[in-house]
Amino acid sequence: MDVTPETAGDAEPGAASITLEGIRKRYPDGTEAVRELNLDIPAGEMVVLIGPSGCGKSTVLRMINRLVEPTGGRILLGGEDVTRVDPVRLRRRIGYVIQNVGLFPHQTVNANVATVPRLLGWPRDRSRRRVAELLELVGLDPARFGRRYPHELSGGQRQRVGVARALAADPVVLLMDEPFSAVDPIVRGRLQEEFLRLQAEVRKTIVLVTHDLDEAVRLGDRIAVLSQGGRLEQYDPPAALLGAPATPFVREFVGADRGIRRLVVTPVTREAVDPLPAAGAAGLPTVPLGGSAYDALAVLLTSASDRVVVADQGRPVGVLSRERLLELGRPGG
Query: Pattern 13-32, binding to ligand ATP, x per CB under 6 A?
Result: --------------x-x-x-
Say whether residue 184 binds ligand ATP (CB under 6 A). no
Name the residue nearer to ligand ATP (CB basis): 35 or 190.
Answer: 35
Select the span of 46-54, 147-155, 243-251, 302-310 touching ligand ATP (CB under 6 A).
46-54
Q: Are 172 and 93 in contact (CB under 8 A)?
A: yes
Select the span of 5-13, 51-59, 80-88, 232-240 touching ligand ATP (CB under 6 A).
51-59
Q: What minimum distance in Å lies between the beta carbon of 100 and ligand ATP?
A: 13
Instruction: Provide the angle, in degrees to the nearest 10, between the axes of the packed helices 124-137 and 185-202.
Output: 120
Name the residue nearer to ligand ATP (CB basis): 168 or 183.
Answer: 183
Name the residue nearer to ligand ATP (CB basis): 136 or 212.
Answer: 212
Query: Pattern 54-83, binding to ligand ATP, x per CB under 6 A?
Result: xxxxxx------------------------
Select the span of 13-21, 49-57, 125-133, 276-284 touching ligand ATP (CB under 6 A).
49-57
Q: What minimum distance in Å lies between the beta carbon of 16 and ligand ATP?
A: 23
Q: For the beta carbon of residue 159, count every other beta carbon within 10 angstroms.
A: 27
Select the span of 35-43, 47-55, 110-118, 252-260 touching ligand ATP (CB under 6 A).
47-55
Site for ligand ATP in 210-249 (CB under 6 A): 211
Name the residue nearer to ligand ATP (CB basis): 59 or 292.
Answer: 59
Give the interface with ligand ATP as residue ranges (CB under 6 A): 27, 29, 31, 33, 51, 53-59, 211
